[in-house]
Structure 1
Amino acid sequence: MGDTDSPDFNKARGFLIGYSLVVALLWFFGADLTQFKLMGNEIYLKENIRHVWLVIALINFYLWIRFLQRLPKRGLRFDENMHEALDAALIKICSIVHKRVAFRKAASEGVEKNEGELVNLQLSGVLSYRDELEHERGREFGPTGPWDYSYPYRAKVNFSMYKKFDKNGEIVNSYGASSYEATPNLILYRAAVVYAFLKGVVGLTWFTDNVWPLLFGCLSIGVAVFKWWQINSVVHVTFVNAFNQTLTPL
Structure 2
Amino acid sequence: MGIDDVDGDFKKARAFLLTYSTLILILWYFSVDLKGFNFLGVAIEIRDNVENVHLVAALGNLYFLIRFFQKAPSGSFKLDSDMVSVFESALKTVAPYVYMRMLYSSMVEVSGIDGVRGKFRKFEKDVTMGHQLADTGSSVLKYIYYRNPERAKRVELSMSVAFLYFRDGVERIGQVKGKRIVPGVALILFCRIYAFIKGSLITAWFTDYILPVLYALASIVVSLLAWCQVNHVYLVC
Q: CA deviation at 1:109?
A: 1.0
Answer whether contact 1:110 1:118 (CA < 8 A) is retained: no
Give the length in aligned residue pairs. Answer: 212
Give CA deviations for 1:47-84 in whole Å, capped at 9, x if unaligned: 22222112211111110000011222222221111111
1:43 aligns with 2:66: no
Q: How does 1:52-201 map to 2 (within 5 A)?
A: 52-111=53-112, 118-131=120-133, 151-166=151-166, 171-173=171-173, 178-201=177-200
Q: Write the distance in 2 (CA, Å) between the matches of 1:106 and 1:158.
A: 15
Q: 160-169 or 189-198, which moves further after superposition?
A: 160-169
1:152 partner SS = helix
Q: CA deviation at 1:177?
A: 7.3
Gaps of 5+ in 1: 1-5, 134-147, 235-250
Contact 1:111 1:117 in 2 (8 A): no
CA change 1:15–1:170 in 2 (3 A) is farther
Q: Which amino acid aligns with 1:129?
A: H
Alignment of 1:206 with 2:205, yes or no, is: yes
The one-letter amino acid of 1:119's match is R
Q: Does 1:8 align with 2:9?
A: yes
Quick one: distance in 1 between partners of 2:124 and 2:99?
A: 12
SS of structure 1 residue aligned to 2:121? strand
**Hey, what does 1:229 align to over in structure 2?**
228
- Structure 2: segments with no counterpart, 5+ residues: 1-6, 136-147
Q: Is the 8 A contact 1:123 1:159 kept in 2?
A: yes
Question: CA shift at 1:169, angstroms?
Answer: 5.3
The one-letter amino acid of 1:36's match is F
In the alignment, is the contact (CA less than 8 A) between 1:9 and 1:70 conserved in 2? yes
Aligned residue for 2:76, secondary structure, equals: coil
The runs of at least 4 consecutive aligned structure 1 residues that moved more than 6 Å come to none
Structure 1 letter corresponding to 2:131? Y
Distance 1:226-1:150 versus aligned 2 partners, 3 A rule: farther
TM-score, structure 1 length as denominator?
Answer: 0.75
The 1:219/1:94 distance shift into structure 2, 3 A limit, reads: same
TM score, norm. by length of structure 2: 0.79
Aligned identity (percent) is 28
Contact 2:92–2:157, Cα closer than 8 Å, also in 1: yes
Partner of 2:140: none
When Rg is computed on C-alpha atoms for both structures, the one with the higher figure is 1
Does the residue aligned with 1:178 lie in a helix, a strand or coil?
strand
CA RMSD of aligned residues (A): 2.7
